[in-house]
Amino acid sequence: MAMVCPHCQGVMERGQRCPSCALRLRGSLDPRDGGANPNRPAWQRTTWGRILIGLIVSQGLYHGLLQASVAAAMALNLGNPREIWLTPAGVVYIQVLQVLALLVGGLLAGAGQNQGFFNGALLGLWYGVLLLVLQSDLAGALTFLAILGQPILHAFVGGCAGFLGSRIWRPLYTPPVSSVSRSARPLHDPRRGWFRGPLHPFRVTLGLAVAVAGALSAEFLFSLLVRTSEGRLVPSSRFQAQLITWEITALALLLGGALAGANTLNGFKQGFAVGVGAGVLLFGIMLGLDPLGVTTAVGVGFAALCLGTIGGSFGGRILPPLVKVRRKVFD
């Protein structure tokens, strides 16, 4: 029965330990066993499973705390809760509830994971976008720059929470450094710096083109979607239309960064290059269209830098370079 090394994924027909990693072989890849691999983690332990669980928990916890706050305000006769949330103190209180719920979800997303920060950052990004969609009435009290920066701020907070979760609850399996040879080290060596390695001009250019083209055509894509739906997807307010346009822009920036970082060893560097290029181009274009909108142009440029970098990091992590599995057979 074929056995597999849990570290280098080498397949051996005989023996109890991997000759390269000196680790005990586990699992079965024999087709007669149905092709099942008992070492494959359940979906709850995968990256996307952790992010989904953290997103559900954080959203549920936030809305639960919000409903409890509404009940407390009504019990104490403080007035209409919706009017309270629109005051400066109410906005700060809502932000505190959002951060507390995100911290809990980020801890769950990063617990037992090697890339806790990236899991938490992606969780925070989607968490912030969902909050803007589900609570458009509360988001109306925020400025354009605050709305644009809220998902980025949540991504940073979620990343910190995920990193903390990965430090408190470390992965169950960590290969001992002394027993792993140089040839068996993983491609994603944690000791590699974020900006080390070559820069791939073709990938960066392609990702930059996708990011900038998608950001500039966000309004056109949204109007095309409305026309295609024959009026069934018409937004109920101007703010909702702007929010959908910003989401399309953010998705294009993330996709451009992920495209540049995919199949590379240093996706962070590729995504950072895309973010810098997209930020500079979008800043210049928006400033040329509206010379007085310096604040908006700076916010868009900074958002492009952050989203491009995050997209490149996840592109390199989710789609790493392909490596052929070494198959070793001993007589």
Q: Coil, strand or helix: which one is 118?
A: helix
pLDDT band at 315 (very low <50, low <70, confident <90, very high): confident
Q: Is the pLDDT of residue 191 over 50?
A: no
Is the CB of residue 310 less than 8 Å from the CB of residue 270?
no
Q: How far is Cα 154 from Cα 112, in angstroms, rounded to an integer?
A: 21
Alpha-helical segments (H) within the chain: 47-75, 81-85, 88-110, 116-134, 136-139, 144-168, 201-216, 218-228, 238-261, 267-289, 294-318
Give the pLDDT confidence of 77-88 residue by residue, as tens digits: 787 777 887 777
> How much is the average pLDDT of 131-143?
66
pLDDT band at 33 (very low <50, low <70, confident <90, very high): very low
> How much is the average pLDDT of 68-75?
82
More confident residue, 59 or 35: 59
Residue 86 has a pLDDT of: 75
Q: Is the pLDDT of residue 207 over 90?
A: yes
pLDDT band at 331 (very low <50, low <70, confident <90, very high): very low
How many of the other CB atoms lie within 10 Å of CB of 63? 15
Backbone angles phi, psi at 26, to 5 degrees: -140, 160
Residue 316 has a pLDDT of: 83
> How much is the average pLDDT of 150-157?
86
Q: Is the pLDDT of residue 29 over 50?
A: no
> How much is the average pLDDT of 238-263?
86
Mean pLDDT over all residues of the chain? 77
Residue 141 has a pLDDT of: 56
Residue 204 has a pLDDT of: 92
Q: Minimum mean pLDDT among 23-27, 120-124, 255-259: which range?
A: 23-27
Q: Is the pLDDT of residue 278 over 90?
A: yes
How many of the other CB atoms lie within 10 Å of CB of 107? 23
Q: Is the pLDDT of residue 36 over 50?
A: no
More confident residue, 319 or 57: 57
Is the CB of residue 280 less than 8 Å from the CB of residue 210?
no
Q: Minimum mean pLDDT among 19-28, 69-78, 173-182, 215-224: which range?
A: 173-182
Cα angle 309, 274, 167 (rounded to 5 degrees) comes to 15
pLDDT band at 46 (very low <50, low <70, confident <90, very high): confident
Residue 100 has a pLDDT of: 93
Q: How far is Cα 262 from Cα 17, in angstroms, rounded to an integer?
A: 33
Residue 3: beta bridge partners?
Answer: 12
Q: Is the pLDDT of residue 277 over 90?
A: yes
The pTM for the full model equals: 0.50
pLDDT band at 9 (very low <50, low <70, confident <90, very high): low
> How much is the average pLDDT of 147-165?
84
Q: Is the pLDDT of residue 160 over 70?
A: yes
